[in-house]
Structure 1
């Protein structure tokens, strides 16, 4: 990861995050979204995460955002206020270099420091071995699978749940 910086996310990272997320939506099954959110939607999400002081990290290489990870509320009900759900996306051009693991490890540490108790990974597609592997490497344990709950690219997809105690 020479030349790579992992740092807190900022509002000005929204265009890079949008680019990475849009490609993931359009070409992959990590997200069950069928259309990428707009840059305005991404900017609004980033602003909300910053305002709520949620764990949010960006990987930057030579001034370009090449990955990001964050932990958002698992569910909106107050009883879940100590549980987060993580999201992690890395530009395909730099996947396999440990960036995802470094991003997720940083988010886990930020969540622990913030007083949270659990992080849930909701992983789209049972064949998403990269995400499953990154979560295992960061101490997440298998918590269950929901069969055939998503439909994208003309096929039914499972969702895997993994969990990490903080």
Structure 2
């Protein structure tokens, strides 16, 4: 009889095409049930394929946390702005499967993403995090724990699920 079982340690690796349906499903959950993204329609796996290819072409990282063959979460860095002078600044994104939250996986993914960004020549990372209004955002706590500092707040810039929402801009050197 097994009294206690830990889930396997996740491996962090580059995302690949076979991961995209799981990535799409993870993100769809947040689009449909939360305010942590301002997307209102979940992107398809084909949309994610375009994103993966675009980031790969730019030399930017797109990582997944793989737990026993299951995508438990993902993180990527995308261009912050399209103007050429911003080419060394990226915006980070991290999402976890709801079944894999609260175990330190977000921190593991983000630490790997920061390292991969450094290797890719990124000098600054920017995070745009929705403030839930209650001051309990796990994403804000994660970013602050990893050395991101608040760089600004945009008040009532998003409207989703009947609520006006702020975003907090955070930044850190890589």
TM-score normalized by the length of structure 1: 0.95
Identify the residue that residue 106 of structure 1 maps to in structure 2: 112
User: After the TM superposition, which residues 87-126 of structure 1 pair with which residues of structure 2 at under 5 Å, given as runs?
Assistant: 87-126=93-132
Alpha-carbon distance in 2 for matches of 1:31, 1:104: 18
Are the counterparts in 2 of residues 146 and 158 from structure 1 also a CA contact under 8 Å?
A: yes
| Equivalent runs, 1:1-166 vs 2, <5 Å | 2-127=8-133, 129-166=137-174
Q: CA deviation at 1:51?
A: 2.4
Residue 74 of structure 1 and its aligned partner are, at CA, apart by: 0.1
Tell me the distance in 1 between the aligned counterparts of 2:151 and 2:97.
Answer: 27
CA shift for structure 1 position 146: 0.5
Contact 1:126 1:160 in 2 (8 A): no
Matches of 1:139 and 1:10 in 2, distance apart? 29
- Decide whether the 8 Å contact of 2:35 with 2:132 is kept in 1: no
User: What SS does structure 1 have at the residue aligned with 2:152?
Assistant: strand
Unaligned runs of 5+ in 1: none
SS in 1 for 2:13: strand
Deviation at 1:46, TM superposition (A): 1.2
Number of residue-to-residue matches in the alignment: 166
Distance, in Å, in 1 between the alignment partners of 2:57 and 2:171 is 25
| 8 Å contact from structure 2 (residues 8, 68) kept in 1 | no
CA distance in 2, matches of 1:38, 1:63: 21
Larger Rg computed on CA atoms:
2
